[in-house]
Structure 1
Amino acid sequence: MGLLRKIRDTGRVAEDAPPRPEGESPPEAQKFGGSVQVRCVDAGSCNGCEIEIAAAFGPVYDAERYGARLVASPRHADVALVTGPVTRNMAEPLRRTVAAMPEPRMVVAIGDCALNCGEFVGGYGVEGAVGDVVPVDLVVPGCPPGPQEIVAALRTVTGR
């Protein structure tokens, strides 16, 4: 019984929410009404950013409590989280994914590779950064960015 009580007392799930991120919400955030449906697209990453995104939506950081929910189809998504440099094989699928998203929509580039190709710059199979293929509305730098940075970006989008 003592062990169960200790787990309950030290669990992070019941902690208060961190303070609101600094700065104003982008104008696009007001279009979503406090919640967004999120589609993740791996455009050619090393998988480091995907692990951090999974942690951001896990029980410790719990991005869903701020109004961000993962969906499987771009047709249901308001926001696309794009990771990695865009490879030649993923350039057209990325364009089609963003085009399939209903208006209003946002594209968030996650990680240094999505911003400027990172370690993969100059690679023979790299088309370019995410911003070279589709318009980017918000960036989250880092290699990889931590779950707290990803959650802060999603809070900026939802305005919560």
Structure 2
Amino acid sequence: MSLLRKIRDTGRVAEDAPPRPTENPPPAAQELGGSVQVRHIDAGSCNGCEIEIGNAFGPVYDAERYGARLVASPRHADVALVTGPVTRNMAEPLRRTVAAMSQPRLVVAVGDCALNCGEFAGGYGVEGPVADVVPVDLQVPGCPPKPDAIVAALRTVTGR
């Protein structure tokens, strides 16, 4: 059934919430409670992951209904959502941004480039994967990862 037909029949765009995540959250996630403030950091990506993060927080996937909200400052954030391989110019700003976040904090590496540099591996301007620069608590593989995988990772953190 097409999305347009579904909207006409039901008046709803989004599906009902899937069941709660069964994965064990990272230890710091248990201290955060049921909601988190998320700071997105582009460490050198091609913007494919950013499009999917935008979709994850858009009206269809709606990550906010599971307690994850985007914020503009690392001082307000509990979770750093990092995309792309870390470039030489972004290594120090990434370290400083994560250091500016209060404890407990989590770092989520989103996309294959953040996990292993993907297509950019061995490039002159590439420092390395996110885990080589800051400690990573959770990984979301994919090139780019689907919005539902991003939402599932955030649900693991919030427990909702």
Map 1:1-150; keep pairs closer than 5 Å.
7=8, 9-13=10-14, 15-150=15-150
Q: With the length of structure 2 as denominator, give the TM-score of the two structures.
A: 0.93
State the alpha-carbon separation in 2 of the partners of residues 141 and 129 from structure 1: 13
What is the percent sequence identity of the aligned residues?
80
Q: What letter matches 1:117 in structure 2?
A: C
Report the CA distance between 1:50 and its aligned residue.
Answer: 0.3
Deviation at 1:96, TM superposition (A): 0.4
Q: How many residues align?
A: 156
Runs of 4+ in structure 1 over 6 Å off: none
| Offset from partner CA, 1:100-135 (integer Å, 9 cap, x none) | 000100000000000000000000000000000000
What's the secondary structure of 2:90's corresponding residue?
helix
Equivalent position of 2:156 in the other structure:
156
SS where residue 28 of structure 1 aligns? helix
Per the TM alignment, residue 16 of structure 1 is displaced from its structure 2 partner at its CA by 1.6
Counterparts of 2:84 and 2:149, CA distance in 1: 16
Q: Mind listing any 5+ residue stretches in structure 1 that lack a counterpart?
A: none
Once the 2 structures are TM-superposed, how far is the Cα of residue 60 of structure 1 from its aligned partner?
0.1
Letter in 2 for 1:136: V
Distance change >3 Å, CA 6–CA 143, structure 1 → 2: closer
Indicate the larger mover: 43-52 or 25-34: 25-34
- TM-score, structure 1 as length reference: 0.93
- Superposed CA RMSD: 1.6
